[in-house]
């Protein structure tokens, strides 16, 4: 469904990702793991059009989208949830959702609440006052209102209280179980491999290991991450 082919991308003259090739299958989940600074976020930014690769191709459903602008990629069915539970903190949870729901092609707020019933009781609360877990759910709910076919998540469990991490993990797994394709950047190896059919390890901007997900891949990933 999404193919990142030999992507080189970085900032100014500095190349951060050196020829990464990653594939997210239709209805499948791919996880990208790697240490801080490995280039995971940079690669996601290239996938959604926020950074321009210096070389390589991005193909979505057979179409070369390398030169498309971010909003054109959203229209084709890509949604991106950046790191850090990003919401408008001064707006209520409902207003955060309405910002997307009331744009052209947006889904009604009610659809997000069906997926995330835990947001119902906090709809009138300012997003900045929600817990990290609630804000993450809100950020994912907002992305879902664009009606994506591929959800790109950058470290959805980062900065979340340990007691709520499982809730976020379940949310991501439930979405994946509906057939939504997911590209997941994640530091929690256990969660990433339990969720993903395919994994990639990125180290210093290179894909150094890849394979099928599942608990049996844990040792290979751990080894790849210690190199």
Ligand X SMILES: Nc1ncnc2c1ncn2[C@@H]1O[C@H](COP(=O)(O)OP(=O)(O)OP(=O)(O)O)[C@@H](O)[C@H]1O
Give contact residues for ligand X (rule: CB under 6 A).
11, 16, 34, 36-42, 83
Which H/E stretch holds residue 176? helix 162-177
Assess contact for 153 and 81: CB atoms under 8 A: yes
Beta bridge partners of 4: 22, 58
What are the angstrom distances between the C-alpha of 59 and each of 43, 150, 175? 14, 13, 23
Other beta carbons within 10 angstroms of residue 205's beta carbon come to: 23
Distance CA 176, CA 142 (A): 16
Distance CA 51, CA 37 (A): 16
C-alpha dihedral, 10 to 181 to 174 to 44, nearest 10°: 0
């Amino acid at each position: 469904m999404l193919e990142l082919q030999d992507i080189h991308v970085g900032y100014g003259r500095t190349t951060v990702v050196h020829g990464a090739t990653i594939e997210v299958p239709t209805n499948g989940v791919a996880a990208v793991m790697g240490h801080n600074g490995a280039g995971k976020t940079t690669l996601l930014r290239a996938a959604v059009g926020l950074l321009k690769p210096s070389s390589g191709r991005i193909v979505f459903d057979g179409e070369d989208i390398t030169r498309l602008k971010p909003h054109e990629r959203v229209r084709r069915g890509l949604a991106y949830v950046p790191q850090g539970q990003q919401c408008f903190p001064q707006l209520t949870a409902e207003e955060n959702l309405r910002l997307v729901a009331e744009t052209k092609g947006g889904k009604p707020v009610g659809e997000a609440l069906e997926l995330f019933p835990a947001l119902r009781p906090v709809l009138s609360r300012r997003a900045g006052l929600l817990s990290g877990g609630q804000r993450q759910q809100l950020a994912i709910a907002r992305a879902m209102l664009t009606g994506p076919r591929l959800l790109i998540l950058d470290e959805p469990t980062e900065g979340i209280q340990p007691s709520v991490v499982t809730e976020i993990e379940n949310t991501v797994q439930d979405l994946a179980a509906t057939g939504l394709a997911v590209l997941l950047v994640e530091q929690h190896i256990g969660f990433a491999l339990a969720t993903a059919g395919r994994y990639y390890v990125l180290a210093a901007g290179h894909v150094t290991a890849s394979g099928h997900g599942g608990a049996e891949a844990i040792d290979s990933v751990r080894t790849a991450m210690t190199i």
